[in-house]
Structure 1
Amino acid sequence: MVRKDPDTETPVDEAFRPTLTWMANEIAAGRAPQAANVPPCSAETWDVITGILEDYGETLVPLPEAAWETSVSQWYGERWKVLVDLHTVAEGRSDLVMDVDIIETEAGFEYTLHLVYVP
């Protein structure tokens, strides 16, 4: 059971980590993540994400296990808002985050990528 605490930002639940890792790795590989439980983001959103990554000027790397030490989630009544700290070749942990909403469905969890940005 994933924690639903609207008052506290918490570490990202273990149940979410495999899909979020896959999503971050897809972005690092230059692909918009899309799967049965990850609806495609719009072409406009993907263009914004790729523009932000180009402007940032660093190369993303596959998400390391260390990302879970600083990434956070919070319950907002009907969804979890998750911010995953992304890593780059030059910096290790970067200022970039992957912003994802997660909802609970009958089939499990559905992940919606909103943006990758510097908060």
Structure 2
Amino acid sequence: MKDTFIPVTKDEDNEQPIPTIWRPLIHSIVDRLVDHDYGISGGLSGVLPVTKETSDQIKNYIDDYGEVLSRLPERTWDSSVCIWMETHWDILVDLWTEGEGRSDLVLGAKVFETNSQYSIEVDMVYVP
């Protein structure tokens, strides 16, 4: 699936792979988390501001998990998914750690579409 273009799909009945167009921004979000920037300070174009409550939840969950996050490899897209929720997409992105490779942790977020532009709201990092 690595070289395949994945389009944005509004299918509320089936999970879909993460669309290709969203992947660079998700990589940037996870890079910030790897660098311990849980609030995504300074912002990222296309990412909605992260609340202090969400930032604290992410930090605490990662700290409690006890592993060091690593940057996303391309194969994370083989198991990460999204689903259309009538007003936005819910996404779950598998996170990776230095000790485990693919971990039990996921990044949960929402993707909104406005005038053919996409914005991401980071919800949480957790073990589903």
Q: If the TM-score is normalised by the length of the shorter chain, which range does it land in?
A: over 0.9
2:31 is matched with which residue? Answer: 25
**Residues 86-109 of structure 1, C-alpha deviations (whole Å, 9 max, x = no match):** 000000000000001001012610
> TM-score normalised to the size of structure 2?
0.89
Aligned residues: 119
1:9 aligned to 15, 20, 33, which one?
15
Shift of residue 110 of structure 1? 0.6
Shift of residue 30 of structure 1? 0.6
> TM-score normalised to the size of structure 1?
0.95
2:124 is matched with which residue? Answer: 115
1:67 aligned to 71, 76, 87, which one?
76
* One-letter amino acid of the counterpart of residue 23, structure 1: I
Shift of residue 45 of structure 1? 1.2
Which structure 2 segments of 5+ residues have no match?
A: 1-6
RMSD over aligned CA atoms reads 1.1
Identity %: 38
SS at match of 1:16: helix
* One-letter amino acid of the counterpart of residue 31, structure 2: N
* One-letter amino acid of the counterpart of residue 58, structure 2: I
Point out 4+ residue stretches in structure 1 off by more than 4 angstroms.
none
1:49 is matched with which residue? Answer: 58
1:93 is matched with which residue? Answer: 102
* One-letter amino acid of the counterpart of residue 27, structure 2: T
Shift of residue 83 of structure 1? 0.2
* One-letter amino acid of the counterpart of residue 112, structure 2: I
**Residues 32-57 of structure 1, C-alpha deviations (whole Å, 9 max, x = no match):** 33223112211111111100000000
Q: Which moved more, 1:95-104 or 1:33-42?
A: 33-42
Which structure 1 segments of 5+ residues have no match?
A: none
CA–CA distance in structure 2, aligned partners of residues 12 and 47 of structure 1? 26
Q: Which moved more, 1:47-56 or 1:103-112?
A: 103-112
CA–CA distance in structure 2, aligned partners of residues 53 and 40 of structure 1? 20
